[in-house]
Amino acid sequence: MSDGDDERRRDLPDGGTDDVASAGDDVRADDTELDDTELDDVREGDRFTPADRVDAVAPSGIRAFFEVAESRDDVISLGVGEPDFTAPWPARSAAIASLERGRTSYTANRGTPELRRAIARHVERYDLSYDPEEEILVTTGASEAVDLAFRALVDPGDVVALPTPTYVSYAPGVTFAGGEPLPVPTYHEDDWSLTPEALRAAGADEADVLVLCYPNNPTGATMSREELSGVAEFCREHDLLVVSDEIYAALTYGDEHTSVATLPGMRERTVVINGFSKAYAMTGLRLGYALAPPTASAAMTKVHQYSMLSAPTTAQHAAAAALQRCDDEVGEMRREYDRRRRYLTARLRELGLDVAEPGGAFYAFPRVADVAPDGDDEAFATDLLRETGVAAVPGSAFGDGGAGHLRLSYATGMDELKEATRRLESYLAEH
């Protein structure tokens, strides 16, 4: 995997550089590329045996796919799960200024008071109200917040319901914490929305925790207040805690984002997770946060305090400025994603592929089962890449529920999207 992401970065129109995305992009798919041979090599050379919890996590099956992608230089990657924009200038300049002023120490465990106050003010736009002293924790990316929620709240043997297709980190995180992931299939026919029926059918009434991710990675699905209310009722009835990963909240294209914590009786049982990687194009600054009632927040802060001390200081300065001064830039990026979203879904439909309307995030998740060899999405993705140089992530990388689908990221420039869909069109015409 190359680290040469700089070439695909795009500044907003009034920003500094104007890099054109290269065709030879990295096609990382959220770090799903760990494979067995790597672990085996390690085992032969030393005296360690990975802990059972770590061994229990299945390696990703898409390594071969990425090797093909790396071996050619005409690849258009719709595989990446990160913005092709650079972080807005006010956020970057605040980071630079903080370094110039010598702000290079740890911060408070929970994060700087300024950032926590800015977060409290920011989330009011989603009708969320959290106390910066006791209910807000700044983390090293939303990734740390997800991990902390599982480590702080899941006891060994606890069952954690995961709607699938699912973002790749949840099941491993649950397993590392000693919990048991319970897949809850969601369906293309329901626009990938989670229903109480799906929860019941999967046996989630026996679960201890439910993970929600709307807008969703990988499907782009969003859930309205009405849709969420059935899920919320299920959680109250069966006493489930909720970990709600809302990292794509600001990238919602239709109705305003609804946080499940705003539904009656839900705030007290929900950890809301958000971050700066997506909406503010700050993936490399590694900053996120968790909002939770005092008991959960204190438990998460305890784990964070011993494992991390505090989130990166420079990034916290950038993040405070992002929240206070970057609404316009976020709006611009959102409008651009929306333009690409509409283009991509229309083109996919034109090509005869069935795709649910993605209401948020930056992914489309079309069905390819009818056009794939033996209906197999991995074979389709590998063949498409080999023949056309278009890289996309096979849906089965996101759990069984994603089989027969393909995740296409539109965090990729319009020109590449046009060329990628043109290549897809000729591929489909030939097969």
Chain positions 391 to 420 lying near ligand PMP, rule: CB under 6 A, are none
CB 382, min distance to ligand PMP, A: 22
Closer residue to ligand PMP (CB): 139 or 388: 139
Binder among 12, 25, 29, 30 for ligand PMP (CB under 6 A): 30
Residue at token pair 């085992």: 43
Taking a C-beta distance cutoff of 8 angstroms, is the pair 87, 282 a contact?
yes
* Spatial separation of the C-alpha atoms in residues 283 and 276, rounded to whole Å: 7
Integer Cα distance of 60 and 312 in angstroms: 30
Where does this chain touch ligand PMP (CB under 6 A) — which range of 8-16, 196-204, 275-283, 347-355?
275-283
Residues 139-158 that bind ligand PMP (CB under 6 A): 141-143
* Span 355-394, contacts to ligand PMP by CB under 6 A: none
How would you class 179 by CB atoms within 10 Å of its CB: exposed for 0-12, middle for 13-18, buried for 19 or more? Answer: buried
The Cβ of residue 105 has, within 10 Å, a number of other Cβ atoms equal to 7
Phi, psi of 138 (to 5 degrees): -90, 130
Q: How far is the CB of 373 from ligand PMP (least distance, A)?
A: 29
81 near ligand PMP, judged by CB under 6 A: yes
User: How far is Cα 199 from Cα 220, in angstroms, rounded to an integer?
Assistant: 20
Residues with Cβ within 8 Å of 427's Cβ and at least 6 positions away in sequence, in order, are 384, 387, 388, 390
User: Could you give the angle at the alpha carbon of 204 between the alpha carbons of 369 and 61, nearest 5°?
Assistant: 40
Site for ligand PMP in 285-314 (CB under 6 A): 288
Parallel/antiparallel/unpaired status of strands 406-409 and 241-245: unpaired
Determine the interface stretch with ligand PMP among 3-11, 137-145, 156-164, 235-243 (rule: CB under 6 A).
137-145
Maximum CA extent, the chain? 61
Instruction: Tell me how far, at minimum, the Cβ of 184 lies from ligand PMP, in Å.
Output: 16
d(C-alpha 97, C-alpha 399), whole Å:
43
Does 26 bind ligand PMP (CB under 6 A)? Our answer is no
Beta carbons of 53 and 175 less than 8 angstroms apart: yes
To the nearest whole angstrom, how small is the minimum distance from the Cβ of residue 206 to ligand PMP? 25
Cβ closer to ligand PMP: 308 or 371? 308
Residues in 244-263 that interact with ligand PMP by CB under 6 A:
245, 247
- What are the structure tokens assigned to 375, written together? 């209906």
Q: Examine residue 167 and tell whether it contacts ligand PMP (CB under 6 A).
A: yes
84 binds ligand PMP (CB under 6 A): no
Q: Which of 77, 283, 301, 388 forms a contact with ligand PMP (CB under 6 A)?
A: 283
366: left (phi over 0), alpha (psi -120 to 50) or beta: beta
- x/- string (CB under 6 A) for ligand PMP, residues 308-347? ----------------------------------------
- Per CB under 6 A, the list member of 166, 195, 217, 244 interacting with ligand PMP is 217
Query: Quick one: tokens of 289?
Result: 């946060």
**Two tokens, residue 229:** 């209310």
Alpha-carbon distance values, 83 to 10, 87, 278, 314, 364 (Å): 9, 9, 6, 20, 15
Task: Compute the least distance from the CB of residue 132 to ligand PMP, in Å.
Answer: 20
The gap between the terminal CA atoms of the chain, to the nearest Å, is: 30
Give the amino acid at 126. Answer: Y
Q: Which residue among 79, 132, 179, 275 contacts ligand PMP (CB under 6 A)?
A: 275
Rounded to 5°, angle at Cα 302 from 206 and 296: 40
Q: Closest Cα partner for 189 from 34, 354, 79?
A: 354
199 binds ligand PMP (CB under 6 A): no
- Residue 172 in the binding site for ligand PMP (CB under 6 A): no
Rounded least distance, CB 168 to ligand PMP, Å = 8
Among 213, 232, 235, 344, binds ligand PMP (CB under 6 A): 213
Kindly state the smallest distance separating residue 173's Cβ from ligand PMP, in Å: 10
Q: Which residue is nearest to ligand PMP (CB)?
A: 141
Provide the 3-class DSSP secondary structure of residue 212. Answer: strand
Segment lying near ligand PMP (by CB under 6 A), choices 33-41, 94-102, 136-144, 388-396? 136-144
Whole-number minimum distance, CB 198 to ligand PMP, in Å? 19
Q: What are residue 323's phi and psi, to 5 degrees?
A: -70, -35
Count residues binding ligand PMP (CB under 6 A): 14
- The correct pick among 277, 316, 345, 409 for binding ligand PMP (CB under 6 A) is 277
Q: Which residues bind ligand PMP (CB under 6 A)?
A: 30, 81, 141-143, 167, 213, 217, 245, 247, 275, 277, 283, 288
